[in-house]
Structure 1
Amino acid sequence: MKIAHRQIGPDHPPLVIAEIGINHGGDLDVARDMVRRAAASGCECVKHQTHIVEDEMTEEAKEIFPPNADVSIWEVMERCALTPEDEATLKAYTESLGMIYISTPFSRAAADMLDALDVPAFKIGSGEADNLPLIRHIAAKGRPVIMSTGMQTIDSLRASVAILEQAGVDYALLECTNLYPSPPEIVSLRGVSDLRSAFPNAVVGFSDHSIGPEMALASVALGACILERHYTDTRYRAGPDIACSMDPAELRLMVDRSREIWIAANNDKSRTGPEEDVYRFARASVVADADLPAGHTLSEADIWARRPGSGEIPGFDFDTVLGKRLTRALRRNEQLKWSDLSD
């Protein structure tokens, strides 16, 4: 798939998405500074959350308290939502730094607003991964979609994926665990492989809520093409997602190390050019294991394989030498040559 100028897939380094989300607390200046620091860390893409609370929730939400907050989900989003004008400003600033700006719409109104802002792609969060009418509304915009799959099974995802495929949009599915933070005993790295197997048309990635970069980086070796993590300018900031957020230094590490792992994961099993000098001394050569007379028929007790590998007969040809007659006398530890042997 392609988002803005960026090709995404197995043939390209993983796209690292820094999710600012609501970590700015509704402050545009804080959000801009987070973007600036993400750009300085080498990140290519930041993701926001677009909340138009009245279209997103009913009044019942005022009585629902998330596990990682001490106020209702309504109040959390009301406090943290940027105005449409501020979001437009943030998108323009992000793009002025050469980065890709995407966002998660949590309602029809939010999707329509982002479409009017001409975002290059939509993100669908795990909580909306089975919200079929919203997915259908977003897919109808015709833009690429990245969908997190936390709290879902392969079977429960099929209807949502069918909508994306029927709309003809490029899409990615991200393995995800929705506990903030997620302990390793409930994180599923195998989910990356399961998604790749179940949905061969999808680009597959990993949306990480664990502490530290290890899980996300490990997912690259399993084929994850997108890495998404919550991101903040500092972990000393208050907010419901700060506990599982990376700071700019960890973001830089994720960008650099994920590319290194992607390169290594795609290298064939072979002896490389730089290894040749090592191979010449590390390899063993067949040698006489005792002083041997000319005309002697070689048995396994007469020869051995020892370093260096500068001899004419390598250790992997040991069995080929057995039963041959010597055309000349050899001293112990003298390297054998093919010309020393006859049938």
Structure 2
Amino acid sequence: MRIGNREIGPNHPPLVIAEIGINHGGDLAVAKEMVRLAALSGCEMVKHQTHFVDDEMTEEAKQIFPPNADVSIWDVMERCALSAEDELQLMRYTEEIGMIFISTPFSRRAADFLAEANVPAFKIGSGEADNLPLIRHIASFGKPVIMSTGMQTIETMQRSVQILEDAGIDYALLECTNLYPSPPEIVSLRGVTDLKAAFPNAVVGFSDHSIGPEMALASVALGACILERHYTDTRYREGPDIINSMDPSELRLLIERSREIWIAANNPKQRTAAEESVYAFARASVVADKDLPAGHVIGESDIWARRPGSGEIAGYDFDKVVGTKLKRAVTRNTQLKWEDLE
């Protein structure tokens, strides 16, 4: 798939998405500084969250308290959401400094707003991964979609994915566990390979809510093409997502190490040119294991394989030597040559 000028897939380095989300606390200046530091860390894409609370929730949300907050989900989003104009400013700033801006719409109005702003792609969060009317509405804009799949199974994702398939758009599915933070005992790295097997048309990635970069990095070796993690300029901020957010230094580490792992994961099993000098001494050569006279028929106990590998007969040809007759006498540890053998 392609978002903006970025090709995404197994043949390209992993795309690391810094999710600012609501970590700016509703402050545009803070959000811009987060974007600036992400760019300096080498990040290509930031993800925001677009909240129009009155279109996103009903009054009942004022009685629902998230596990990592001491106020209702309505109050959290109302307090942390940027205004429409501020979000447009953030998008323009992100693009001006050479990064790609995408966002998660949590309502129909938010999706319309982002479409009018001409975002290059939409992100659908785990909480909306089975919200079929919203997914259908987002897909109708014909833009690429990245969908997190936390709290879902392969079976429950079928209808949501079918909407994306029917719309004929490029899409990515991210394995995700929605507990902030997610301990290793409930994170599913296998989910990356399960998604790849179940949805062969999808680009597959990993949306990470654990502490530290280890799980996200491990997912690259399993084929994750997108890595998304919550991101903040400093962990000393307050907010429900700060606990599992990376800072700029960890963002840089994730970008650099994920590229290294991607390269290594795609290297075939072979002896490389750089290893030739090591191979010259590390492998074994066939040698006489005792003094042997000319005309002796070599038995298995007469020879052995020892370093270095500078001999003519390599250790892997040991069995070819057994049963041959010596043309000349040799002493113990003499490297044998083919011309020594009848």
1:306 aligns with 2:306: yes
How many equivalent pairs are there?
342
Shift of 1:178: 0.1
Equivalent residue, structure 1, for 2:290: 290
Q: Distance in 2 between matches of 1:326 and 1:262?
A: 51
The separation in 1 between residues aligned to 2:296 and 2:42, in whole angstroms, is 68
Q: Aligned residue for 2:83? A: 83
Q: What displacement does 1:67 show?
A: 0.2
1:23 aligns with 2:37: no
Q: CA deviation at 1:206?
A: 0.1
Q: Which amino acid aligns with 1:260?
A: E
1:37-62 deviation line (CA, Å, top 9, x unaligned): 00000000000000000000000000
Which residue of structure 1 aligns with residue 149 of structure 2? 149
Query: What is the SS of the residue equivalent to 2:111?
Result: helix
SS at match of 1:39: helix
For the residues of structure 1 that align with 2:42 and 2:5, how far apart are their CA atoms?
16
Superposition TM-score, scaled by structure 2 size: 1.00
Q: Which residue of 2 aligns with 1:54?
A: 54
User: Identity rate of aligned residues, in percent?
Assistant: 78
Deviation at 1:274, TM superposition (A): 0.1
**Structure 2: distance between partners of 1:264 and 1:95:** 32
Q: Which residue of 2 aligns with 1:337?
A: 337
Report the RMSD for the aligned CA atoms in angstroms: 0.3
User: In structure 2, what residue type is equivalent to 1:221?
Assistant: A
Structure 2 CA distance, aligned partners of 1:141 and 1:272?
48
Instruction: Name the CA distance, whole Å, in 1 between partners of 2:134 and 2:102.
Output: 17
Task: Give me the TM-score of the superposition, normalised by structure 1.
Answer: 0.99
Deviations 1:12-37 (A, max 9, x none): 00000000000000000000000000
1:88-113, Cα deviation, whole Å (9 max, x unpaired): 10011111111110000000000000
Q: CA deviation at 1:170?
A: 0.3
Q: For residues 262-277 of structure 1, what are the structure 2 equivalents within 5 Å?
A: 262-277=262-277
- Equivalent residue letter for 1:65: F
1:105 aligns with 2:105: yes
Structure 1 partner of 2:42:
42
2:229 aligned residue: 229
Residue in structure 1 matched with residue 137 of structure 2 by the alignment: 137
2:276 pairs with 1:281: no
Distance 2:322 2:291 in 1: 16
Q: CA deviation at 1:329?
A: 0.5
Separation of aligned partners in 2, 1:243 and 1:278 = 46
> What corresponds to 1:8 in structure 2?
8
- Is residue 246 of structure 2 the alignment partner of residue 246 of structure 1? yes
- Look up the match of 1:257: 257
Q: Alignment partner of 1:162: what SS?
A: helix
Letter in 2 for 1:215: M
**Residue 114 of structure 2 aligns to a residue in which SS?**
helix
Q: Counterparts of 2:134 and 2:149 in 1: how far apart (Å)? A: 15
Runs of 5+ consecutive residues of structure 2 not aligned to the other structure: none
Which residue number in structure 2 is paired with residue 125 of structure 1? 125
Partner deviation per Cα, 1:137-167 (whole Å, 9 max, x = no partner): 0000000000000000000000000000000
SS at match of 1:301: helix
| CA distance, structure 2, for counterparts of residue 73 and residue 187 of structure 1 | 24
Q: Aligned AA for 2:89?
A: T
Q: Secondary structure at the match of 2:102?
A: strand
Looking at structure 1, the residues matched to 277 and 331 of structure 2 have their Cα atoms a distance apart, in angstroms, of 27
Q: Secondary structure at the match of 1:326?
A: coil
Secondary structure of the corresponding residue to residue 101 of structure 1? strand
Per-residue CA distance 1:58-93 (angstroms, 9 max, x = gap): 000000000010000000000011011101100111
CA distance in structure 2 between the aligned counterparts of 1:98 and 1:68, rounded to whole angstroms:
34
- SS of 2:119's equivalent in the other structure is coil
Q: Which amino acid aligns with 1:108?
A: R
Distance 1:119 1:267 in 2: 35
C-alpha displacement of 1:317: 0.2
Report the counterpart of residue 193 of structure 2 in structure 1. Answer: 193
Q: Which amino acid aligns with 1:309?
A: G
Q: Deviation at 1:214? A: 0.2
| SS class of match (2:174) | strand
Give the residue type in structure 1 aligned to 2:88.
A
Once the 2 structures are TM-superposed, how far is the Cα of residue 172 of structure 1 from its aligned partner?
Answer: 0.2
CA distance in 2, matches of 1:35, 1:289: 68
In 2, distance between residues paired with 1:129 and 1:275? 48
Question: What is the rounded CA distance, in whole Å, between the counterparts of 1:93 and 1:323 in structure 2?
Answer: 78
**Which amino acid in structure 1 is aligned with residue 41 of structure 2?**
S
Residues 261-312 of structure 1, C-alpha deviations (whole Å, 9 max, x = no match): 0000000000000000000000000000111100000001110000000000
